[in-house]
Chains A and B, each alone.
Chain A
């Protein structure tokens, strides 16, 4: 899956990544590199405007910037090549081949069905699997062989549109079904023509519309079940207070980070709640990328994630959470924080309601909610006492799991919150 072979051996194209399951298009609003720059894995390449916010996108390969393939402000489909780069290793012969325009159009226009055709799953094309970073797509554990060959993006599209992949003719590598094949069937050809798409601005209203669309889909397609469990957070509060008292303010940890750790540890144990619903089955993910719903004061919310939250320390999770919130509120989220979330937390905070019956963010399998902490009568060994109580809720996909498993998952989350020293 390396599109550089289609060009020549010295160059490869960086494609507009999908920055969330709901993103079909976006526009480059700023280049963060210049032609001739040498870039390295993790470098910021451009700022992309989506309906939700402006997002810094990163590259996962080393290379030298050859040319920009799209204009600033141009509305383009996900998967459109936006930057051509030359491999660092191929320096020797690269100069001549890279300069020969005959084999490659200097600026491939994204045709209605061709945008994804050149690289159906943009994330997979630019980001080889790497355990140390968040996998852009939930990684299947097993069982891929018997299925129709298809890109993850195509699977998701087909699942979203209720189409059977086996009935779709694939035009990708080795006949694999790619996103363009699904879209060709699912929508009139003209519908996805980027050049005719209306100008849109990132307004609270458009974000509202986006949330409306996603939540409607979730409610329509996902048979939710909801569970709740009260958790005594007295030990957690005391432990945090003591821990924070001995630390400078920059190293203090908020309860929200503890919630992320508790859910991450539980999700690592109960894998059936961590991943995505694809086609007709759950695909548990290897990495536990816990997304946090962060509300924006101008309206709406974003859900960037802490990748591999089960394998980070509490301090590391807190540090990342600080970054995510600051980036969300200033509109500078990175692409790698937005793609590949495997489970989501919604935390109402201490001024919120007592509990939340959430709606799952498709194609994920579960959403964990936490209400405000409140002092409640609580029975410990036949004595009624007053304890700070948080109601944890689980919204889970009944196609993937049942209430008994959900209860065990919630119990594990509660256990971790009640034993904070292990977080």
Chain B
């Protein structure tokens, strides 16, 4: 289950491809990782898997916060380690 691109939004909000947004934020920060993103397991710890450091982490989170229009407090970082966790988190806050 690697994409939610076509899922309608239950609350009737505009449909946003959250996974695509997450992957594109990572690709923005680390363009050289783009080829790997297609095969990325969405339930694996992406920071470890992709060897993203704290600067990359902040850069990705900043992009996601900006694009989703909501802040991501530092205390939530520990439970935002996979693509699917990030997707659920960002969708829940819509």
Q: Are B48 and A330 in contact (CB under 8 A)?
A: no
Q: Which residues of A contact B32 (CB under 8 A)?
A: 297-298
Within 8 A of A (CB), among B55-77: 55, 58-59, 61-62, 65-66, 71-75
Kindly state whether residue B20 has any CB partner on chain A within 8 Å: no
Interchain CB contact (< 8 A) of B62 among A244, A250, A351: A250
Least CB distance, A322 to chain B, in whole angstroms: 7
Q: Mark B26-56, 1 if CB is under 8 A from A, else 0.
A: 0001111100000000000000100101110
Kindly state whether residue A254 has any CB partner on chain B within 8 Å: yes
- Chain B CB count within 10 A is highest, among A248, A249, A250, A350, for A249
In this complex, how many residues of chain B approach chain A with their Cβ under 8 Å: the count is 21
Q: Are A245 and B30 in contact (CB under 8 A)?
A: no
**Closest B residue by C-beta to A324:** B55
Q: Are A326 and B59 in contact (CB under 8 A)?
A: yes
Bound state CA distance, A254 and B62, in angstroms? 13
Q: Are A249 and B31 in contact (CB under 8 A)?
A: no
Q: Are A241 and B54 in contact (CB under 8 A)?
A: no
Bound state CA distance, A321 and B59, in angstroms? 11
Least CB distance, A415 to chain B, in whole angstroms: 24
Q: Are A241 and B74 in contact (CB under 8 A)?
A: yes
* A322-B33 contact given A245-B75, A249-B71, CB 8 Å threshold: no
Q: Are B55 and A322 in contact (CB under 8 A)?
A: yes
Q: Which residues of A contact B48 (CB under 8 A)?
A: 351
Q: Which residues of A contact B73 (CB under 8 A)?
A: 245
Q: Are B54 and A255 in contact (CB under 8 A)?
A: yes
Q: Which residues of B contact A249 (CB under 8 A)?
A: 58, 61-62, 65, 71-72
Q: Mark A316-335, 1 if CB is under 8 A from B, else 0.
A: 00000110011001100000
Q: Which residues of B contact A330 (CB under 8 A)?
A: 31
Q: Which residues of A contact B66 (CB under 8 A)?
A: 250
* A321-B55 contact given A245-B74, A249-B71, A330-B31, CB 8 Å threshold: yes
Q: Are A254 and B31 in contact (CB under 8 A)?
A: no
List 29 interface pairs A-B (beta carbons < 8 Å), by A numbering. A241-B75, A244-B74, A245-B73, A249-B62, A249-B71, A249-B72, A250-B62, A250-B65, A250-B66, A252-B74, A254-B55, A256-B54, A256-B55, A297-B30, A297-B32, A298-B32, A321-B55, A322-B59, A325-B55, A325-B59, A326-B29, A326-B59, A329-B29, A329-B30, A330-B31, A350-B54, A351-B48, A351-B51, A351-B53
